[in-house]
Structure 1
Amino acid sequence: MSLFFLKSILSIVMLVFALIAMFTMFEIFGKSDKKYSIEKLKRLHKVNGIVYLLIYIFIAYFCLSFIIDTKGELSPRGTFHSIFALTIIVLLGLKISIVRIYRQFYNQVKILGLLIALITFGMVGTSGGYYLLVTKFGTEKIDRARYYKNEVSSEEVKTVIRIDEASIKKGKKLYESKCYLCHDPYSTKTIVGPGLMGILKNPSLPVSGKPAIPESIINQLRNPYRYMPSFSYLSEEEMLNIIAYLNTL
């Protein structure tokens, strides 16, 4: 089970807790004839909120770690997801402050609770929901590797692949800090992106189908195809070291 699949499942669980919170809120404030005990509903709402917050913190930690490790710009979908997530934590902070301290604004708690539940739909839909949808609940890869037989002339290959141990060692270190989270170096299985075992021994790159030559990899790092973040901040020296390591896979 990949971390992304686990995160997606947890986000669905968090959405369920948001729905439970909304239900208990409606039962407490929305009915004159109470079917359930108010005290029990309040306790359920409180416990539900604590679990929701714990799941939120875990997922947020995972997402922030991913962003820090990749150091790439967010995609439009990722940007919306982040905005939803930040909005939720702000609203949660306001709600807790009102309930605990500023009780003169207590009537606003209902609106805040409803907003949190609705925004949770958006947050989950743009991340976990999307992942589960496009992978058919984790049974398929996001990006199927597509290998095309491209004829590459010797004139196109201008970059000499380094084979010295120092370059390979530096490249491995860079790979582990920049690439490993998304690309498995020991297989062709997809984590987030395709596994890169034998990447320079194939006729073409996975997903983009471009020739499997150093120039294509450098271009991919600078101007990524599809969803991969840009690594244009890496120096040419660092890119060549990464290629040296990729050549050993």
Structure 2
Amino acid sequence: MPILLLKSILSIVMVVLAVIVMFTMFEVFGRDGKRYNIEKLKKIHKANGIIYIALYIFIAYFCLNYILQAKAELSPRAAFHFVFALTVIVLFGLKISFIRIYRQFYGHVKTIGLLIALLTFGMTGTSGGYYLLATKFGTEPFNLNGIETKHENPTVAKIIAKTDEESIRKGKELYESKCYFCHDAYSMEWGVGPGHKGILKNPMLPASKKPATPENIANQIRNPYKDMPSFSYLPDEDVLNIIAFLNTL
């Protein structure tokens, strides 16, 4: 299962947990006549909170790892997702501190809990929800929507892929440090992004559907199609070395 699909499914689970937390909180604190056993509701509320934060940490690990691997500026959607996620964990920390330590602020706990649940909807919608809709719930490859990028560089000169061992070796090292997290060099399967096996031997690039040429690969690295992060900071020599390695696949 692609890691983004797994992450998206787990994020939907977080939304379900948030709904359960809201329900239990409303039933415990919002009703005069109680319909359910209050002690059981409190236990369910606490268990949901523990599972929620465990999933949050698990998903956050992959998100942060992706950002560190990409070393690129976040897209506006990803930036909103990051702000939502950061706000959720800060509020969660405040809630725990108000319950355990600063009990004079205990009256604010219910409001903070409600904010966490509502922010979860925004956090999930800008990441997992977007991915599931864009891929029709994982049935189609991510990024495959036929929209051409508006950031093409029409002045890219014709590139001849290098074939010397040193360039290929350096290109492989760069690929493993910059690209491996999202792409599999030795298959055509989609994960976070498309596999790159035979990328320069196929007629079209797997996501943008442009002709599979060194020039278009260089442009993809510099001005990527849709959600791929930009590696415009890479020197020309590094881009050429990556192309040299891709040419061997």
In the superposition, the TM-score normalised over structure 2's length comes to 0.90
| Within-5 A mapping of 1:1-249 | 1-144=1-144, 158-249=158-249
Provide, for residues 37-80 of structure 1, a one-character-per-residue CA deviation record: whole Å limited to 9, x for no partner.
Answer: 32222222111111100000000001000111111211111111
Shift of 1:132: 1.4
Instruction: Measure the CA separation in 2 of the matches of 1:203 and 1:6.
Output: 31
Shift of 1:208: 2.8
Q: Cα RMSD between the aligned structures? A: 1.8
Instruction: Find runs of 4+ consecutive structure 1 residues off by over 4 angstroms.
Output: none
Unaligned regions of 5+ residues in structure 2, if any?
147-155
Structure 1 contact 203–212 (Cα < 8 Å) conserved: yes
SS in 2 for 1:183: coil
Instruction: Measure the CA separation in 1 of the matches of 2:244 and 2:133.
Output: 36
Task: Supply the AA of the counterpart residue of 1:233.
Answer: Y
Unaligned regions of 5+ residues in structure 1, if any?
147-155
Shift of 1:106: 1.3
SS in 1 for 2:200: helix
Task: Supply the AA of the counterpart residue of 1:70.
Answer: A
Instruction: Measure the CA separation in 2 of the matches of 1:190 and 1:43.
Output: 41
Structure 1 contact 170–242 (Cα < 8 Å) conserved: yes
Provide, for residues 194-227 of structure 1, a one-character-per-residue CA deviation record: whole Å limited to 9, x for no partner.
Answer: 2222222234433334343322222221122221
Structure 1 contact 172–242 (Cα < 8 Å) conserved: yes
Structure 1 contact 143–194 (Cα < 8 Å) conserved: no
SS in 2 for 1:200: coil
Shift of 1:145: 8.6
Shift of 1:157: 6.0
Shift of 1:96: 0.6
Instruction: Measure the CA separation in 1 of the matches of 2:49 and 2:144.
Output: 39
In the superposition, the TM-score normalised over structure 1's length comes to 0.90
Shift of 1:98: 0.6
Task: Supply the AA of the counterpart residue of 1:164.
Answer: D
Provide, for residues 164-186 of structure 1, a one-character-per-residue CA deviation record: whole Å limited to 9, x for no partner.
Answer: 11211111111111112222222
Number of paired residues?
240
Task: Supply the AA of the counterpart residue of 2:92.
Answer: L
Structure 1 residues 140, 159: CA separation in 2 closer, same or farther (over 3 Å shift)? closer
Larger mean CA deviation between 43-52 and 211-220 belongs to 211-220
Structure 1 contact 186–195 (Cα < 8 Å) conserved: yes
Instruction: Measure the CA separation in 1 of the matches of 2:158 and 2:126.
Output: 41
Instruction: Measure the CA separation in 2 of the matches of 1:157 and 1:89.
Output: 47
Instruction: Measure the CA separation in 2 of the matches of 1:143 and 1:223.
Output: 14
Structure 2 contact 204–211 (Cα < 8 Å) conserved: yes
